[in-house]
A and B are shown apart, each in its own frame.
Chain A
Amino acid sequence: MTATTDRTTDHSRAAADGAHSHGVVPAGSRAERVTSFDLADIPVPSGREEEWRFSPVSRLQPLFADTLGADGVTVAVEAAPEVKVETVARDDARLGKAGKPGDRTAVSAWNAVAEATVVTVPAEAVASDVTSVRIDGVSKDATAQHLLVHAERHSEAVVVIDHRGDALLNQTVEVVVDEGAHLTLVSVQDWADGAVHAAAHRSTIGRDARLKHVVVTFGGDVVRITPDATFTAEGGEVEMVGLYFADADQHQEHRLFVDHAVPSCKSRVTYKGALQGSGAHTVWVGDVLIQAEAENTDTYELNRNLVLTDGARADSVPNLEIETGEIAGAGHASATGRFDDEQLFYLMARGIPEVDARRLVVRGFFAELIDEIGVESVEERLLASIEAELEKSMSVITGVPAAAE
């Protein structure tokens, strides 16, 4: 890949100079961002705010409303035998424990839901199968939906949330990982073309707990996901993996926030995206905050984008704020490159037709990441989805229409 922008920084030896930050940080520390359960505290954005400046707010408008329906999607859970599933009222005491909403869609979603789905992995339980949460868009009525996934202490489970169909969905996913638990949470956005989806993922990671948080975004008109992860006790680990593939006129935005609020936790963020077609737009923002008391933190975040055709745009903003000098390691890297014609030439000079050569390069770009997901059924589907996406771009290149999906 020929990098057009490439930034790599290692902050392991960064001095304790108060707040150390860079990337584009126009709006002060991430720690100062308003969070609240109250609609009045977070008004409807104009689009000029820091957290909305890359977003097509007009297309997201329906999701900013004070009230939203509940019927635009159906929710079906197929749980592992060890896992418990309930539907609870909005005043259930377990809800709202994984942090407060941090932007308008998040606070609207919180206030609009009447019920929530709660998936509990009981203490010490090791789920013998994947738990799958299927969310199907069935109408274009703006809808709020709430899911809580709670991995109790020393449990282990894999939960896959799968979004399909067409919808206007404003969603909250709360993830609570208790002491010593290991949870893998995967959210797949495989929407039909017109779908608009905002999702606030708020996670807390307890003592010696591990969360692998995976986001895969392919479909939809606008998808905007804000995964937050907060460490609540020492020894926690979070691995955030994301893969996205944007086509013409699609907007896919992933804004992450890892809050190192306590000492001796580890975070790894790896997001990779491919873009093709005019008007394809992806946004990746990775905020990592290492608070003053979070000594011995180890963090690294990386975002790479592969621009396959002209007219697509990838924004990438890593942002690391370090308030302590006593860290084990901190760094970030961000690179956006165009599809490399020299790679294509090399492969074709070995007899490989252009279509296959492109496929090899794009698969190669994602290969490492797919291995990291570690959930076989998801990996297979992902490979198939990448093939389908590539099929579309090939049809542009070769003039042969893609096979109907």
Chain B
Amino acid sequence: MSTLEIRDLHVSVETKEGPKPILRGVDLTIKSGETHAIMGPNGSGKSTLASALAGHPKYEVTSGTVTLDGEDVLAMSVDERARAGLFLAMQYPVEVPGVSVANFLRTAKTAISGEAPALRTWGKEVKGAMENLRIDSSFAERSVNEGFSGGEKKRHEILQMELFKPRFAVLDETDSGLDVDALRVVSEGVNRAKDTTDVGVLLITHYTRILRYIKPDFVHVFVDGRIAEEGGPELAERLEDEGYDRFLTTGATASA
């Protein structure tokens, strides 16, 4: 059982005009096996939270703590965080020309587990995981994300989540841009990872439809850089019906 604990996290983004505060005191605790959904209006800071957790250099943590089983995550470099068991499925996965998916997956797996995966079993594992996610085998030889459609990029992110077996995964709008079939296939992938590895999931989304496949234990409403309200799955339904007006007009008061 692992715990990812975010305490009073303040984060600024580097802009041309100087640092701009985005996160204003985020508190969140995720345990293995739990699924937390984060919903909130555009620009409220959801991706900023995801990037800050992964250690993106543009985002500066100005105060607060993030610990993984008591270990200081903020003191770790980006790659150390990944090796410690954090995974971020990005809202906009990056294209890496000239680096094949097969080579990338093997290199990353080797880095994360500290040793090269056994050649024969690894090949089978990748092949099986790609089949499950309906990713054509020809993608193994293509450059990472290069020329992938939006949906293909998202599937490639979940492929990595299944293969790298992180302790905690942040999925930033993995459902955006997916057609109905792809949404189901991707959700099945996340659920497989949950079943087999007990991964804790932080699922950032705008839509309840993915929550019908991936059942959240908790729903957090993210407004203006912090969590404005928390509840169970029923909160998501309510948000879909009512929108965020309630939080925006009353002024965001953190309830966490």
Contacts and interface: CB of A to CB of B under 8 A. Distances in A.
B94 A353 contact: no
Contacts of A346: 90, 93-94, 96, 144
A306 to B, nearest CB: 10
A345 B57 contact: yes
B107 interface: yes
B207 to A, nearest CB: 25
Interface centre among B54, B94, B164 (most CB of A within 10 A): B94
Interface stretch (B41-49, B77-85, B128-136, B186-194): B77-85
Interface centre among A341, A357, A361 (most CB of B within 10 A): A357
Interface stretch (B97-105, B118-126, B220-228, B232-240): B97-105
Interface string A318-355: 00000000000000000000001111011111111110
B108 interface: yes
Interface residues of B, number: 29
B108 A352 contact: yes
A360 interface: yes
A396 to B, nearest CB: 18
A350 B164 CA distance: 8
B143 interface: yes
A357 B144 CA distance: 13
A398 to B, nearest CB: 12
A350 B98 contact: no
A356 interface: yes
Contacts of B212: none
B56 interface: yes
Given A346-B94, A346-B96, A348-B78, A364 B143 contact: yes
B98 A349 contact: no
B93 to A, nearest CB: 7
Given A356-B107, A364-B143, A349 B96 contact: no
B98 A351 contact: no
Contact of A348 (B77, B98, B99): B77
Contacts of B57: 341, 345
A353 B79 contact: yes
B35 interface: no
Contacts, number: 79
Contacts of B88: 349
A363 B112 CA distance: 21
B174 interface: no
Contacts of A366: 98
A348 B104 contact: no
A361 B99 contact: yes
A1 interface: yes
Contacts of A341: 57
A241 B104 CA distance: 27
Nearest to A368: B98
Contacts of B77: 348, 354
B12 interface: no
B111 A364 contact: no
Contact of B79 (A348, A364, A365): A348
A363 to B, nearest CB: 7
Contact of B94 (A342, A354, A363, A364): A342
Interface string B164-192: 10000000000000000000000000000
A367 interface: yes
B160 interface: yes
Nearest to B79: A348
Given A345-B57, A361-B99, A364-B99, A352 B94 contact: no
A44 B82 CA distance: 59
A311 to B, nearest CB: 20
B79 A360 contact: no
B97 A345 contact: no
A351 B112 contact: yes
B56 A360 contact: no
A351 B117 CA distance: 14
Nearest to B83: A351
B188 to A, nearest CB: 22
A343 B82 CA distance: 15
Nearest to B86: A349
Interface in A254-272: none
22 contacts: A340-B94, A347-B108, A348-B79, A349-B81, A349-B82, A350-B104, A350-B108, A350-B164, A351-B111, A352-B79, A352-B108, A353-B79, A357-B79, A360-B96, A360-B99, A360-B104, A361-B98, A364-B97, A364-B98, A364-B99, A365-B97, A366-B98
Interface of A: 1, 340-343, 345-354, 356-357, 360-361, 363-368
Given A347-B104, A351-B83, A364-B97, 4 more contacts: A360-B99, A360-B104, A364-B98, A367-B99
Closest 5 A-B residue pairs measured CB to CB?
A364-B98, A351-B82, A350-B108, A346-B94, A351-B111
